[in-house]
């Protein structure tokens, strides 16, 4: 099955649209095409991290899921200053790609965040982006599946991957897994393409994400509602 690749109005975004015949049919009367946002934290627009995300996107497309890859790592994204203005306005005070993605997150069904490994962690631009996105727009991501993908020449992948998972697990997001931890290895895109196991992990991740998205949608159609949130309790260690 071939996906159609085209650029959005922003040069930072690419959309993979599955063919019309591959729309997800939930029952005889309802047809819905779901969408997953894949965010590339690498400063290299089409480097190793992009290669991994593209393999995930391909699997999602083959399952009838639309995908959009958004370039984050080459942007100048400043960190959160904890001003809490977003609690008043609903958007981050710094009006950049963070607010643009938050708007897209409102209608997205799932998220995959990809990052290269810098000193056994995600790169600084990606961290600044995620801190602000989750602080100002967490309500748009809650209860939607998420997954992290990391890329490295050699080591540090597990720590960086765990760092990405922290964002999902503080925000009521189902975490999508694969047959192994979501990582690829290589110093160039060509080397990543030689990581046959890594690419298979990416495809499995895409298939698992599609399965979970369809299961959630089927549950909605069957009347299964998402959990009701209790009023938040906050207990300080020092009182």
Q: Is the pLDDT of residue 8 over 90?
A: no
On whether residue 234 sits in a domain, the answer given is no
Both tokens of residue 209? 């994400």
Q: What is the pLDDT of residues 88-122, one digit of tens each?
A: 999 999 999 999 999 999 999 999 999 999 999 99
On whether residue 164 sits in a domain, the answer given is yes
What was the pLDDT predicted at 13?
A: 63
Distance between CA 92 and CA 83 in Å, rounded? 9
What was the pLDDT predicted at 11?
A: 54
Both tokens of residue 25? 């049919």
Mean pLDDT of the chain: 90
Average pLDDT, integer, range 15-43? 67
On whether residue 54 sits in a domain, the answer given is yes
Closest CA to 161 of 183, 178, 176: 183
On whether residue 8 sits in a domain, the answer given is yes
Q: Indicate the number of domains in the chain.
A: 1
On whether residue 184 sits in a domain, the answer given is yes
What was the pLDDT predicted at 22?
A: 39
32 band by pLDDT with thresholds 50, 70 and 90? confident
Q: Which residues of 30-48 are buried (b: 16+ CB within 10 A; e: fewer)?
A: eebebbbbbbbbbbbeebb
On whether residue 111 sits in a domain, the answer given is yes
Contacts of the segment 2-5: beta carbons below 8 A, 24+ positions apart: 3/57, 3/58, 3/61, 3/62, 3/67
Q: Give, rounded to a whole angstrom, the gap between the first and last alpha carbons of the chain.
A: 59
* Domain assignment of residue 122, given as a range: 4-221
CATH number at residue 156: 3.40.50.360
Q: What is the pLDDT of residues 47-70, one digit of tens each?
A: 999 999 999 999 999 999 999 999
DSSP calls for the chain: -PPEEEE-SSTTEEEEE--GGG-EE-SSS-EE--EEEEEE--SSTTSHHHHHHHHHHHHHHHTT-EEEEEE-TTS--PPP----THHHHSS-SS-SHHHHHHHHHTT-SEEEEEEEEETTEE-HHHHHHHHHHHHHHGGGTTTS-EEEEEEESSS-HHHHHHHHHHHHHTTT-PBP--SS-SEEE-SSHHHHHH-HHHHHHHHHHHHHHHHHHHHHHHHHHTTPPPPPPPPPP---S--
Both tokens of residue 3? 């996906």
76 vs 6: which has the higher pLDDT: 76
Q: What is the pLDDT of residues 150-194, one digit of tens each?
A: 999 999 999 999 999 999 999 999 999 999 999 999 999 999 999
18 band by pLDDT with thresholds 50, 70 and 90? low
On whether residue 139 sits in a domain, the answer given is yes
On whether residue 168 sits in a domain, the answer given is yes
Q: Is the pLDDT of residue 16 over 70?
A: no
């Amino acid at each position: 099955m071939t996906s159609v690749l085209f650029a959005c109005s922003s040069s930072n975004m690419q959309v993979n649209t599955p063919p019309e015949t591959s729309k997800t049919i939930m029952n005889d009367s309802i047809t819905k095409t779901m969408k997953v946002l894949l965010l590339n934290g690498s400063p290299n627009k089409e480097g190793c991290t992009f290669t991994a995300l593209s393999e995930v996107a391909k699997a999602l497309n083959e399952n009838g899921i639309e995908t959009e890859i958004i370039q984050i790592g080459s942007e100048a994204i400043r960190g959160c200053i904890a001003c809490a203005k977003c609690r008043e306005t609903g958007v981050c005070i710094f009006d950049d790609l963070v607010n643009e993605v938050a708007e897209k997150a409102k209608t997205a069904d799932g998220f995959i965040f990809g990052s290269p490994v810098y000193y056994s962690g995600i790169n600084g631009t990606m961290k600044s982006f995620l801190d602000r996105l989750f602080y100002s727009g967490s309500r748009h991501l809650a209860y939607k599946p998420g997954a992290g993908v990391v890329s490295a020449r050699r080591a540090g992948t597990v720590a960086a991957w765990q760092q990405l998972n922290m964002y999902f697990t503080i925000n009521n997001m189902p975490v999508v897994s694969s047959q192994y931890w979501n990582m690829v290895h290589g110093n160039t895109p060509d080397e990543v393409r030689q990581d046959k196991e890594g690419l298979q992990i990416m495809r499995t991740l895409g298939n698992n994400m599609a399965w979970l998205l369809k299961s959630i949608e089927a549950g909605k159609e069957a009347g299964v509602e998402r959990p009701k949130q209790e009023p938040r309790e906050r207990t300080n260690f020092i009182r």
